[in-house]
Chains A and B, each alone.
Chain A
Amino acid sequence: MWGSRKLISSGSRFLGVRRSGCRVAQADCPRSTASAGLEIGKSKILCLVRAHFRVRRWNFVAVPSHGRRVYSENQLSWTLPIKPWIFSEYRIMWFKSCKMTFVCFNRMKSYRYPWTRLYSTSGTTVDSSEVKTFLALAHRWWDEQGVYAPLHSMNDLRVPFIRDNLLKTVANHQPGKPLSGMKILDVGCGGGLLTEPLGRLGASVIGIDPVAENIETAQRHKSFDPVLDKRIEYRACALEEIVEETAETFDAVIASEVVEHVTDLETFIQCCWQVLKPGASLFITTINKTQLSYALGIVFAEQIAGIVPKGTHTWEKFVSPEMLESILESNGLSVQTVAGMFYNPFSRYWHWSENTSLNYAAHAVKSGAQEHQVPAESVLKEETEELQATASTIAGVREEVKK
């Protein structure tokens, strides 16, 4: 769904341009799920066309006219049935540039569910080769000194990052359970390494992972702790499968060390957008796509030092912060923070760093419902003013007539 265009007609000249642009793009359409990431990486072209809205700043998403658009195989294209008199309920933003085509569109809540129905749920973001890699290590999650030691150690950075950014959104919190009352989704939770700390902090967490063995390990591990047992729920599924039932229910979605394993980042981010409440946060930690990350992250970490099991990462699927930022922005998530992280393999501790060329963490916020009200009000105000103006002139005319 997100791959398809929503065409807004309000002027035929735009329509002409857009339609032709669309056809060209579809002709170019590449597409195997695995190579999508490759193309994104290679050409740094952003997928376009979403419903999204922002009041304070214009959201520019550039698609060079010569560029290629990337669509998932299973996406359907359709046009939203727009009736002219509903226009006022929609906030529309136009981006124009001689060479680029911009479309931005906001959808109202009432139209969200029809879209989800049309959305394909056949595991578009899960890569089966990745599944195989993680299957082999499914029982090793909770050995703190074992294969996953760096991930255990990363909790020292990512849990405070998540906790502090979520606490900013609440006025006061319960000491001892700072995140109580929050619903969090941990996508790609693995063995529950990040899910459990968040559960201990009081949040109710749902952890999902496509590898069923991981979920089993996670279930078993949390079953010993009665408090966590109640607060955490695990499901073996992909994100797309739960988008329908959990639309707009989460205060935070966390995709830690996940986006470098998905097949279609665009789809993934769109699903995240869907399940987030307005004003909710999305947290992503991943690896940058640079020469340094190849040298250190793949050659050194996997092949030489064995810090990360071989075959865990493929460099082509790494995502740079700029790419991630643009995908997030084009999908209605405003990026608040991007911070670099650095792992010292000797001390086995992670550190925050200015440099994002290896690992980095990003925090984005879904634009809230309140922000959408203002332009609507301004549009309505203009209309009411017009009506009042006409009413007053009519009244004036009547008085004159009476006189």
Chain B
Amino acid sequence: MDIEQKQAEFIDHFVKQASTLNGSALGSLVAEATSNPSLFAFSEILDVPTVLELEGTDNSVYLDVLRLFAHGTWSDYKNNAGRLPQLAPEQVLKLKQLTVLTLAETNKVLPYRQLMQELDVSNVRELEDFLINECMYAGIVRGKLDQLRECFEVQFAAGRDLRPGQLGSMIQTLSNWLATSDNLLVSIQEKIKWADTMSELDKKHRKEVEDKVEEVKKSISLKFHPVSRQTLTTEGMRRSSLNLVE
């Protein structure tokens, strides 16, 4: 989708840079990557071997920051603020955007209260401004803001980087979806067959009734030629004939 396309060049750029630098130079790279307004995906950078080497060294804090941006939320940052370096305002903004994405993962309808709590925003106006300007115009979420019920209905949210365990659950969801649609297909087939059989039965029934009518007509006309009396309907004719003849 479009976000992925927009990100693709930035991802390539940063990955290339990351593979050439190492050590503390990566720190500034991480800061740059996390402040970039269009970049929301960090797992490619995380996969670069020079970045992974940072684990356990003095500069592992940069790796933590990167990991935080890839999988974590604003509350994670606040809880661990001691260990992590100070974030620049753009990074804070980015982290908040990513938080919205994470929240959208679990629920489709996000109450304002929860959003305000997670994002440290005190009033509704600010929250809505944030959602509209930073999230919807950036294209990472699409949805409807419902002020009366004070919630945000998410119709589409861009994907965040996957945690290792999430692949399994995604496959599970997909197989459920498949199973449901298979069942649906089967039931539609049955409905079609039912409709066809019903129409067949109906036609047969109609034909039987018509045959009977023909038969009776014929037998009446054989028995009952000299009717001079005017009768209005075949029904009446039949009855009058029955009265007279037998």
Q: Bound pair: A and B?
A: no
